[in-house]
Structures are given as C-alpha cells and as structure tokens.
Chains A and B, each alone.
Chain A
Amino acid sequence: MVRVNVTHELRRSIYWNFEIVRTESLRRQSIGSTAPPDFSASSIQSIEPADMPNTPIVILEAQFHHIKALLARLRLDSAARLVVLVDKDGQQIAVHGDLGDLDTTSLASLAAGNVAATGGMAKLIGENEFPTLSHEGEKESIHICVIGRVLLLVVFDDRSSLGLVKLRSKQLSHELAKVFNAIEQDSAAARANSSLPFSGITDEEIDSLFSPA
C-alpha cells in the first residue's frame, strides 16, 4: 500500500480549494466564453475519498445525479422512508425520500457523531471500525452503512424490515464505492481546472453578514 504524505501547507491549500467545482456543462460553457459562469444549474457536492481522509474530492453534476438515482433505487428496493448520504464530518451530501418535517441537518450531524463514537469503541477493542450500525425503534428504525468516507443512512418503518434494509444497503454500498472510486480519480483533474468563486469576496461583503437587518 502506498502512503501519500501531504504536507500541512498543501493539505490546507487543498482544504480551501476543494469546494471549487464545475459541472461538465459549466466547463463547456466557460471555455472560450467571456461571460461569467452560471453556477445556478450546478448540483455539486464535495467529500473526502476513503483512503485519503484529508484530501477532498469533487463530485460533478452527472455523478451527483447518479448518486441520487442510486439512493432512489435503494429507497424503492428496501421499502424505506428515507435514504440519506452523509460525510463522516456530518455534512449531508444527498437525500431521497419522505422528508416530512424531519431535520436532516441534525440527523446528519448525529449520524456522524454516532459513527465516530462507535468507531472509537471499535478501535479500543482492536477493530478498525464497525461497518454497519442499526437502531430499532418501536415504529421507526435506522440503519447506517459506512462506505469509506461516507455514511449511507436508511430510515425505515414496519413496512420494511432490518434484514431487507441490510441486504439492499450492502448491495448498493458496492455500487456507491465504485462511484466514489471513479469520483476520486476524476477529482484531481477537476481541482486543477477549478476557479475560485469566493476569491473576490470583499471585507464589506463579509461584514454585511453581521450587520443588523
């Protein structure tokens, strides 16, 4: 196994640059064009790859839609209420299903905390991590599957079963792992081609956030 040592400076640089993403369509649009890029059509998320936890990656719009389609399929196949993809830092990447008034921001944060805590326990007993976690409630239940740097979280009720959700999640996790492997490979190029939409932020713009309305 090759271990890549990234200096702190470089890592920080990558950290602050990772969000800068363009969709394939956006890249085509901006080549040879002097018009400002339109980010409104972009659906982009960024996470870190599984084996380089400090190296952020870029998800292009097509890949994002592919992920969303996979989540939709899992929800259907497992008869789940909701499927959420979260990164291990607690940021929600994508969600599909019956949201209702569910606070998915808190759900993502708590899921990440949950996985971090059980991962800590795993290490104490000599395991690397616990790849799946299940919490069964009276009516609603949660199953979490750890896939590298992301967590696949399924919320389901008595219309489904833990066995079915586990099976379908495991099947999908292989596909998601492949998607994220491809994303990782594409990421270096995407980062190299990226621009900096926030590089021009002025002090006034930042201060305006804190001004009374």
Chain B
Amino acid sequence: MTFINYASREINCKIVYYGPGLCGKTTNLHFIYDSTAAQARGKLISLATEADRTLFFDFMPLELGTVRGFKTRFHLYTVPGQVFYEASRKLILKGVDGVVFVADSQEERMDANIESLRNLEENLQVYGYELMKLPYVLQLNKRDLPNVIAAGELTSELQRKGEPVIEAVASTGAGVFDTLKAVAKQVLTELRKA
C-alpha cells in the first residue's frame, strides 16, 4: 500500500518480485543494488539459507528521485520461490503496490512458471487484490540460455492482461532496469488515477 509521509515528503511504494524457484528474483535485486549510487539505495537485506536460497525475503529500499516535491522511494521485495515456502511467500504480498513476475525462460521450467503464476493470483486474492487490476510486469528471464522457449510462445502462455513483457538476463543486468521502470511507472500512474 502506497505510504505517503508529508512530514518527510516521501512516497513509499512496495514492489514484489514473484516467480518460481531459481528464476532470478534475487539476482534482479542484486543487479539493481550493484548498479545504483549508494545515496539512492538502502541496505540490501537477504534472509537466505546457507545455500543462498531465499528463505523469507530480500528487501531493498531504492530512491528514484523527486516528483511534486516528494521523494519517491520504492521498497523492493522478493519472495522465496520454492514451493514449500508457501506460507512465507503469502506474507510478503501484504500491502503490495506492484508485482513483477519473473519467469524462467527455460523449457523445463515452463510448468513451474505456470504453477507460480497461478499461486500468485491465489495469494493476491487472500488480501483482496486482483492481478488484473494491479500494476504488473512480466519479465522473461534467462534469455541467454540455450534451451529457452521462444519469447512469443512464453508470452502467449504467461501474459494475463496485456501487461508489459520484458526480456531479461538478470545476471548481466539486461532488462532489469526496464522491468523496474515499467512497474514503477504503473504504480505512480495509479496515484494519478486516485
């Protein structure tokens, strides 16, 4: 839920990166963190297992700039992608303003993408949200791998409502900021509609 603080003149919005296990959600955040000036970002908090798998969430505040005299700060979260962390995953969606679904483009992960997307819709409904009405971007990640499904085919399978679809290679940063920009723009546009 967008949180506006007139005292410090800040707009805080919550963006959640969702997707199946090992699709690159945390890698998106790491690239943003590494590519952003220190004064524009806070700490990157990762609650991960010893094997670097997300256990609860990753969190990073990012300041984009000023609009109408208000600093726009985005709180970026990831969810744990592994199926058995369902209970934790659901908690992260509370108060969300925008969602990025990070799809794994590899052929063998297609079922996992579909299952995770269905899971996202169900978990949003728990809080009374509908994917169809929420700022939302579909990122097709890992486009550099040899066994990927064609972008058009992935899009026709995973796109829900004509949302922006961005091809990415999060490990090199390709498409990472385009994704963030696409979802952030939708969130800010929602403020205008209010």
A residues whose Cβ falls under 8 Å from a Cβ of B: 8, 11-13, 15-21, 39-40, 42-46, 48, 54, 56, 64, 87-91, 103, 105-106, 109-110, 113, 116-117, 120, 196-201, 205-210
Contact = CB atoms under 8 A, between A and B. Distances in A.
Given A8-B133, A43-B7, A199-B194, 19 more contacts: A8-B128, A11-B128, A15-B1, A16-B191, A16-B193, A16-B194, A18-B1, A39-B6, A42-B6, A106-B43, A106-B61, A110-B59, A113-B57, A113-B59, A113-B92, A197-B68, A209-B72, A210-B181, A210-B184
Nearest to A89: B95
A64 B184 contact: no
Contacts of A21: 4, 6
Top 8 A-B residue pairs of the complex, sorted by shortest distance between their CB atoms? A89-B95, A16-B194, A19-B4, A43-B7, A42-B6, A44-B6, A116-B91, A198-B191
B163 interface: no
A209 B57 contact: no
Contact of B42 (A11, A105, A206): A105
Chain B's interface size range is: 35 or more
B192 A89 contact: no
Interface string B71-82: 010010000000
Given A43-B6, A46-B4, A117-B91, A209 B47 contact: no
Interface of B: 1-7, 9, 11-12, 14, 42-43, 45, 47, 56-57, 59, 61, 64-65, 67-69, 72, 75, 87-88, 91-92, 94-95, 127-130, 133, 181, 184-185, 188-194
